[in-house]
Amino acid sequence: MNDLGFPVLSLMLAVPMAAAIVCLFVSANTARWLALTATLIDLALGIVLWMNYDIGGAQWQFVEKAALFDRFSWALGIDGIALMLIMLSVFLMPICIGASWEAIQTRVGEYMAAFLLMEVLMIGVFAAQDIFLFYIFFEAGLIPMYLIIGIWGGANRIYASYKFFLYTLLGSVLMLIAMFWMVNEAGTSDIPTLMAYDFPLEAQSWLWLAFFASFAVKMPMWPVHTWLPDAHVQAPTAGSVILAGVLLKMGGYGFIRFSLPMFPDASVDYMWLVFALSMVAVVYTSLIALVQSDMKKLIAYSSVAHMAIVTVGLFAFNRQGLEGALVVMLSHGLVSGALFLCVGVIYDRLHTREIDRYGGLSINMPRYALLFLLFTMASIGLPGTSGFVGEFLSLLGIYEVSSWVAIVSTTGIILGAGYMLYLYRRVAYGVIKSDDVAAMPDLNKREIALLLPIAIVVLWMGVYPESFMAPMRNDVGALEARLAAVKPVGDAQVTPGTAPVLTPAAHAEEGHH
């Protein structure tokens, strides 16, 4: 079993699952409280998990295994990377429930059930140690998200929900075929074993591409990112938070867990593909973000740009790049989630996401303006916030591999500052243009309770990232070791210079002048 003496990961899946079923049959208010309780229990279990995680101990901890099914088994277990992503999920979930407390008034029971189911599937994705179990959790997330967007979404929700569903489904079906091949070849569906298995070189390319199709859509990478702005704009606030906060991270997690360790040679071969797509994404989506008039769309495009920094960092094949990418993932999960919450706060008051309708909010909503400013700065990557740590490390990592990629990716930070500050100026500064904006009240207690915890963690991660990086260090090290054999030679060959030897004669000569 594990150190705790009870199957903590299964319990973390069972609690929201049970609550989801009950939510379907109870009244709206009961469903809200039940969902909040269940997600808080999961958060508590997550903290227990983190407290008991033995940093520097076994690579896989809290391992559970039960042969419940034919051909695949109920195998759960986490390493430091999965631990951090599970923490992100369980941390954001109560906030999502809180954000929907008043915004969702129709079919509350079903809504809460869909979110709790979503939580089960997210934790399942990060904890699964069987490749098919992973696939089931990974794909199953489509169903609740489809319903969340389609039932509680905005005006154009049907189109967005279809696009989300079919895009991601098409991306991942080929991955399943690749998984079949791998399991046939290696004779096991156990992820840790597969991570150490050396697949034949000619097969790796195909397998890598099949997995890439899935993760690139999920991530999302340019040019298969177009589902994301639609899904974000139409989804309810909490749906956007979970989409940006956790679902996008599944793509990055997939690269770390599957593509890089299982197909190291193919990863190097296709490194330039990833770099090219990422560079386009950084510049292109940042420029698109600059001209958006819809707040949610702007943040959605900024997500694509930030995720491109993640892929660049991951394919740098060195410690700085990998750790940086992971921190960007965590940081972006918090910051973009918080930004969507900020949009949700004013959307609940004015029912529009048009940037031009707002202005001067720092006059009548000072507390809101302060928190919004903090998250804007974190999104830009200001030192002291979580965004800085991740982006700095990622770019440092990639600089070792390719100066050009580093230079192009760095423009993302400048452009990021451009569109985020421009957004903030238009929303918070200036004069109040209309009476209905002037009448908007500042944050209430519930909203502060949602945003403040995120703000604290964002600063914590910015000032003392060691708390978050320590559990992942050994796992990044293991991955780096796995990739060491194929690591490409970078173009930044820094060679220590030799100091000019100063001879006494030279001194003497100098002395004459």
Partner 1 sequence: MNYALWFQLASPEIVLSASGLVLLLIAAWGGVQSSRLVSVLTVVALFGALALSFNFLLGDSFANGADAFYGQYRMDRFASLSKVLIFLSAIGCVIVAPKFFARDNMMRPEFPILILFASVGMGLMVSAVDLLTLYIGLELNSLAAYVLASFLRSDDRSAEAGLKYFVLGALASGILLFGMSLLYGFTGTTSFIGIQTAFADGVSTGALFGIVFVLSGLAFKISAVPFHMWTPDVYEGAPTPVTTFFATAPKVAALALTMRVAIEAFGGQQAIWQQIVIFVALASIILGAAGAIGQVNIKRLLAYSSINNVGFMLIGLACGTPEGASAMLTYLVIYVAMTLGSFICVLDLNDREGHPVEDIGKLAGLSRTRPGLAAALAIFMFSLAGIPPLFGFWGKFVVFDAAVAAGLIPLAAIGIAASVIGAFYYLKVIKVMYFDEPADVIAPSGSKARMVLVAMAALFLSPLGYFTTLALSPVTADAARALFWAA
The CA distance from 303 to 225, in Å, is 10
Residue from 60, 101, 162, 392 in contact with partner 1 (CB under 8 A): 162
Among 165, 399, 419, 468, binds partner 1 (CB under 8 A): 165
Q: Is 169 in the site for partner 1 (CB under 8 A)?
A: yes
Stretch that binds partner 1, among 155-163, 428-436, 464-472, 486-494 (CB under 8 A): 155-163
Would you count residue 18 as binding partner 1 (CB under 8 A)? no
Residue 420: closest CA among 339, 341, 353, 332: 339
* Residue 419, CA distances (Å) to 302, 413, 426, 459 in order: 9, 10, 11, 22
Among 1, 170, 439, 484, binds partner 1 (CB under 8 A): 170
Which CB atom, from 216 or from 395, has the smaller least distance to partner 1?
216
Q: Please spell the DSSP secondary structure of 44-56, one letter per residue.
A: HHHHHHHHH--TT
**Cα torsion angle, 142, 143, 144, 150, sign:** positive
DSSP type of residue 440: -
- Does position 218 interact with partner 1 (CB under 8 A)? The reply is no
Residue 385 DSSP symbol: S
Phi, psi of 198 (to 5 degrees): -95, 105
Residue nearer to partner 1 on the CB measure, 213 or 329: 213
Which position among 61, 89, 161, 204 is part of the footprint of partner 1 (CB under 8 A)? 161
Contact window for partner 1 (CB under 8 A) among 163-171, 338-346, 402-410, 431-439? 163-171
Q: Determine phi and psi for 209, rounding to 5 degrees.
A: -65, -40
Task: Provide the minimum distance between the beta carbon of 169 and partner 1 in the complex, in angstroms, as a whole number.
Answer: 5
Q: Is residue 150 at the binding interface for partner 1, with CB under 8 A as the rule?
A: yes
CB of 376 to partner 1, least distance (A): 34
**Applying CB under 8 A, does 26 fall inside the site for partner 1?**
no
**Cβ 181 to partner 1 shortest distance, Å:** 5
Q: Which of 142, 244, 398, 423 binds partner 1 (CB under 8 A)?
A: 142
Show the CA angle centred on residue 356, arms to residues 353 and 359, nearest 5°.
100
Q: Specify the residue, 150 or 220, whose C-beta has the smaller distance to partner 1.
A: 150
Binding mask 426-465 for partner 1 (x = CB under 8 A): ----------------------------------------
By CB under 8 A, name the one of 32, 157, 306, 353 that touches partner 1: 157
Looking up tokens 């990716």 gives 409
Tokens at 507, concatenated:
């001194």
Nearer to partner 1, 208 or 388 (CB): 208
Q: Residue 179 or 428: which CB sits closer to partner 1? A: 179
Identify the H or E element spanning 455: helix 445-463
Count residues binding partner 1 (CB under 8 A).
Answer: 33
Q: Which is nearer to partner 1, 101 or 162 (CB)?
A: 162
**Contact status: 104 vs partner 1 (CB under 8 A):** no
| Upstream peptide bond of 223 is cis (omega within 30 degrees of 0) | yes
Q: Does 174 bind partner 1 (CB under 8 A)?
A: yes
H or E element that contains 300? helix 295-314
47 or 170, CB closer to partner 1?
170
Check binding of 208 to partner 1 (CB under 8 A).
Answer: no
Quick one: the chain helix, strand, coil %, rounded to 5?
75, 5, 20
The two counts, helices (H) then strands (E), for the chain are: 25, 2
The one-letter amino acid code at 201 reads L
Q: Which of 11, 26, 63, 140 binds partner 1 (CB under 8 A)?
A: 140
Instruction: Please select the residue that binds partner 1; options are 63, 136, 273, 478, rule is CB under 8 A.
Output: 136
Q: Is 36 in the site for partner 1 (CB under 8 A)?
A: no
Q: Is 238 exposed, middle or buried (CB count within 10 Å of its CB: 0-12, 13-18, 19+)?
A: buried
Indicate the residue among 59 and 226 with the shorter CB distance to partner 1: 226
Stretch near partner 1 under the rule CB under 8 A, chosen from 156-164, 238-246, 297-305, 335-343: 156-164
- Closer to partner 1 by Cβ: residue 147 or 458: 147
Are 92 and 333 in contact, with CB atoms under 8 Å apart?
Answer: yes
Instruction: Classify the C-alpha dihedral 344-214-387-82 as positive or negative.
Output: positive
Least distance in angstroms from the C-beta of 479 to partner 1: 27
Q: Contact at 8 Å (CB) between 300 and 56?
A: no
Q: Which of 238, 224, 102, 235 is nearest to 166 (CA)?
A: 224
Under the binding rule (CB under 8 A), the answer on residue 147 touching partner 1 is yes
Binding mask 178-207 vs partner 1 (x if CB under 8 A, - otherwise)?
A: --xx--x-----------------------
Residue pair 146/127 in contact (Cβ under 8 Å)? The answer is no
Least separation in angstroms between CB 7 and partner 1: 17
Read off the tokens for 50: 């983190």
| Phi-psi group of 188: left, alpha or beta (phi > 0 → left; psi -120 to 50 → alpha; rest → beta) | beta
Provide the token pair at 158: 């049907």
How far apart CA 143 and CA 301 sit, in angstroms, is 24
- Give me the 38-77 binding string for partner 1, x by CB under 8 A, dash otherwise: -----------------------------xxxxx------
Residues that bind partner 1 (CB under 8 A): 67-71, 107, 132, 135-137, 139-140, 142-143, 146-147, 150-151, 157-158, 161-162, 165-166, 169-170, 173-174, 176-177, 180-181, 184
